[in-house]
Amino acid sequence: MTPDLIVFLALGLVAVGAAVGMLLSRNAVYSALFLILNFATMAVFYLVLGAPFIAMVQVTVYAGAIMVLFLFVIMLLGAEHLERHTSVDWQKPVAVLLGLGLLGMVGYLLVSGQVTLGTITTPEQGYGSPLEIGRALFTEYLLPFEITSVLLLAAMVGAIVITRRDAPNRKKR
């Protein structure tokens, strides 16, 4: 048991536990908080894996901005609880079974050794630093980077249009 493995297992357990907690919570607010925990552990994983910039973004954008948005919407709509509803009865067991099947297959792949994957080595100094990421973004990936700005703008406009109360096409109703 190397320290690395101990860290991994501990963080992995927290991540999986947070995910399961999110799934099982009746209250949507709890689910959101569990997910934030999950995202935080992810950020730690990123740090461990030599991606400090991504870890930083994970915390600020995901765990911060996005999840705050989720909580905000939950509270706005007052949708923490949902009364039980008739739906397709066999949906839940089938979904769990299929999920287990998927996990089984991935596990089989990993155990049987059909695929060989590399091992994680110590990265060189400065790997994954914001400096390198920035250099890559503004040289090699300049065009996709600029396109994301257009994407974000479109998303913003879309969100405003969709949620606008007095949209012209709704007036007719």
State how far Cα 85 lies from the chain centre.
28
CA–CA distance, 20 with 10 (Å, rounded to integer): 15
Q: Nearest distance from residue 18's CB to another protein, in Å?
A: 9
Is there a contact between 142 and 134 (Cβ–Cβ < 8 Å)?
no
Residue 168 in contact with another protein, rule: CB under 8 A: no
Q: Looking only at residues 124 through 153 of this chain, which bind another protein when binding is defined by CB under 8 A?
A: 124, 127-128, 132-133, 136-137, 141, 144, 148, 151-152
CA–CA distance, 79 with 107 (Å, rounded to integer): 37
Q: Nearest distance from residue 113's CB to another protein, in Å?
A: 10
Q: Nearest distance from residue 172's CB to another protein, in Å?
A: 13
Give the x-and-dash track for 88-127 against another protein (CB under 8 A).
Answer: x--xx-xxx-xxxxxx-xxxxxx---x--xxxxx-xx--x
Measure Cα distances from 92 to 24, 87, 136 in Å: 13, 10, 44
Question: Tokens in use for 138?
Answer: 């503004």
Q: Looking only at residues 55 through 84 of this chain, which bind another protein when binding is defined by CB under 8 A?
A: 57-58, 61-62, 65-66, 69-70, 73-74, 76-77, 79, 82
